A and B are shown apart, each in its own frame.
Chain A
């Protein structure tokens, strides 16, 4: 069995050599730019792109994802892969001073890989409405635009306060927020959509669930007794088409208040689901669906 000992010996030597070569060479990251020195920014998510534009940093953006379509100027920026899979070669070729990513697995992974090569990355976690304000502050600090960040945050907060004083009167409207129709999937309690519904003066018709966005059966649709059903459409164009389909689809739940009163709305999902600077617009859209009468005299 001599050859087996040789194999073991060589493998051990190889591994030791690996430790010797790679652990001695400490990877010092190349120059890390300071906040006032950041001129080339890459964003890996639509919401982050919107925040950057809202902070007046649009000119400094050198790369976005294929999903970044708002504001219109964002759609003209170079595309560096998708939201789920940013292309690391393209990101490096854009020579960014700062790469901003979201905090979930796929995006943390790209940030980790870029950091290893020596790029400056900022990872922000936006899962709740509160996280959004934190993220704006964080991005403002990292890009030397604290002032714009503060202004953005306070203007959105002010609008939200106005809305809540407007919508605060009267009882809560029970809302079913539909993410996808087949199979039927709605926003659960532990989501930012739920927060937005509450900020708009409503209440999620779905009781707490295991899933964040639970798939539900017809039985639960009847049980939740929703006053209003809101469907999120993918993009502006599909709203009218989906509206017609929605009425047909929901008519099967005859005894639900939302169906009886024909209170089924299709809205642009991007403003709600993106959790970006258009947060207020999203909440207002929901509020309009809940209490159209409140907004009638305003317009």
Chain B
């Protein structure tokens, strides 16, 4: 394992990463299609000027969107770490067990049903996507349990098949839907970031932070499990309990992220690998760092998505893949000889 990860070392690294995150958030909040001057934002909110577009753009549009990117990025990256650990599969990402298609199915059903209400500041699409994601992951978990001892393979196969099945249902529904409905679904499936109510952000931040903290609690056991289940059992780890907690928490934060912003790919795959390549595979450090790096990555990617084709916008998923892919390959080539995969 890692040479020596002391509490002090961990705190210093995480603090440095958090500082970097705040700096990136600040810089990105200054960038956008419109030029916003900070002095105007916080200076002249006098009564003589009823409308202060600078303030509205900065506080009501840009800031919530950046905070949203932080929440989603952190959630996806941490979920990616955990799925890679418990499935012991380097290809795992938060969507591997069918969350994406389950959420997509929920979203498209919401769009097709034409529902129009608001629940705690969330649209039907978000609520249905969340329900779809949680329902699917429960289904996959349940089928995985039925397959018995060789839990992981059964789980993976169940996930792949459920994913394929729901994707087919999604394709069917899009092919019979009205064209304008299809359009809004496609935007959702490509990852759709928009500003949210601060209330929604507050609650989601709490949910995601709680999930990540729960995962951090079990990170020492995750280290052991990534060596193999039998070894872990021999070392006195309650593998089933840890797997259940890891699975539930990771699925939960993924579902929250997906319901906030649709399907944003790549973050949950490359950020954990990137952090593992550079900082080593110890989950006590890997998990918090991946969360922070995921947040930084998504904030930066979303800022690019906002400004690169102004006044139009790109789906953020396009940017995460185009920017993240090559960057990851460079890391891969440079660092692979230094560290092995998954704690080996």
Contacts and interface: CB of A to CB of B under 8 A. Distances in A.
Interface of A: 3-4, 7, 10-11, 14-15, 17-18, 21-23, 30-31, 66, 79-82, 84-85, 87-90, 92-93, 95, 104-106, 109, 113, 116-118, 210-213
Q: Interface on chain B toward A: helix, strand, loop, or mixed SS? A: helix
Contact of A18 (B194, B195, B203): B203
B166 to A, nearest CB: 21
A168 B25 CA distance: 65
B240 to A, nearest CB: 16
8 contacts: A7-B214, A18-B199, A31-B50, A84-B183, A87-B311, A92-B60, A93-B57, A105-B180
Given A92-B53, A105-B183, A106-B183, 9 more contacts: A31-B50, A79-B311, A81-B312, A87-B310, A87-B312, A88-B195, A90-B33, A92-B57, A213-B179
A131 to B, nearest CB: 14
B111 A105 contact: yes
Q: Interface on chain A toward B: helix, strand, loop, or mixed SS? A: helix
A7 B313 contact: no
B171 interface: no
Contacts of B184: 104-106, 109
Contacts of B217: 3-4, 7
Interface in B181-225: 181, 183-184, 187, 194-195, 197-199, 202-203, 206-207, 209-210, 213-214, 217
A15 B206 contact: yes
Interface string B50-64: 110100110011100
A81 B33 CA distance: 10
Given A7-B210, A105-B111, A87 B180 contact: no
B289 to A, nearest CB: 20
Contact of A95 (B51, B176, B209, B306): B51
A253 B57 CA distance: 56
Contacts of A66: 311-312
A93 B58 CA distance: 11
A84 B185 CA distance: 12
A104 B50 contact: no
A87 B305 CA distance: 12
Contacts of A118: 56
A23 B184 CA distance: 30
B231 interface: no
Given A11-B210, A117-B56, A87 B313 contact: yes
B34 interface: yes
